[in-house]
Amino acid sequence: MSLTHLGPDEIARRMYRGRQAHCAARSPNDFSAAHVEQFKEIGFVAIEDVFTPADVEAAKASLSRLVAQGNPDVVSFEDAANDRELSPDEREGYVRKIWHFVGHDAHLAAMSSHPVLVSIVERLLGSPVKLIQDMALLKPAHVGREKPWHQDNAYFVYQPLELVIGTWIALDPATVENGCMHVIPGSHRDGPRPHFHDRDCQLSDDDVAVERDVVVPLPPGGAMFFSSLLHHGTPPNRSPQRRRALQFHYASVNCTTMSGAAHQALFEHDGRYAGCATYATGGKLLPIAERKI
């Protein structure tokens, strides 16, 4: 059942309970075999100080430059920016995503291949990896909207699914108030689940075990490493503090690209496509209204 009719604030109250907070490891130096086992068991690991304060400040400056350049193929805006004439100074306060920046900025490209970050990813997957996605997720103060619960493998066509990993790097303090990550520990073990076009491409609201929701606050430079089958999402940002993050996805070099038909077989509902990779399947995303409840 969809809760969209209730509005964003009531959805946030019901869908992002987060009564328990995950405690991140203090440093990459503390990363151990126990964290590899934790990743297998609950689907994620969080570590502080993966990047230095200088790295973080340079990344924020790079994102600001990309926003100022205004390339529509790279920068997308919050709905609150619709029908507004934004000055260059106002523009950054309404940006939702910055895509494909590795090809546009040397510092951000270097962060995607940072040896500390990549070494942790490779230990978690047990093999060398390749970068398959780069994205900045900006949740502006007051207007940053929800990213509903989903699995990232619903967007990707790499197999095996368990050899695809996401990394989420905080550039500002990521807090409960400004929209830090929420996760359902262990949900990656449930396999691929149908996704529907409702508030976004998302898991059905009644397919998320919100009573098990755990929040993952992070300081700037901290990173979360998570299975691309993990159920995760972020609520709206109603606070006066913006929340900027980088997201890189990696696949093992042992992964192969699956066909659109194979992806549709994994993410289907009532014989129709229920995933997010329409670029690969050619299929129309199944609207929530057409789901049989």
Render pLDDT for 13-27 as a digit per residue (tens, 0 to 9): 999 999 899 999 999
CB burial of 73-108 (b: ≥16 within 10 Å; e: otherwise) equals ebbebbeebeeeeeeeeebbbbbbebbebbebbeeb
Cα 284–285–290 angle (5° rounding)? 105
Cα 187–213–122 angle (5° rounding)? 50
For residue 211, give every residue at least 6 positions away whose Cβ sits within 8 Å of its Cβ, in sequence order, or none: 17
> Which whole-number Å values give the CA distances from 261 to 26, 155, 197, in the listed order?
43, 14, 19
Q: How far apart are CA 228 and CA 57, in angstroms?
A: 28
Tell me the fold of 4-282: Jelly Rolls (2.60.120)
189 or 70: which leads in pLDDT: 189
Query: Of the segments 215-219, 272-276, 282-286, which one has the largest average pLDDT value?
Result: 215-219
Domain ranges of the chain: 4-282
Beta bridge partners, 156, equal: none
Render pLDDT for 84-123 as a digit per residue (tens, 0 to 9): 777 667 777 888 899 999 999 999 999 999 999 999 999 9
pLDDT category at 69 given cuts 50, 70, 90 is: confident
Backbone φ and ψ of 57, nearest 5°: -65, -40
Say whether pLDDT at 293 is over 50. Answer: no
CA max distance for the chain: 52
pLDDT category at 1 given cuts 50, 70, 90 is: confident
The two tokens of residue 164 are 């695809």
Cβ 130 vs Cβ 206: under 8 Å: no
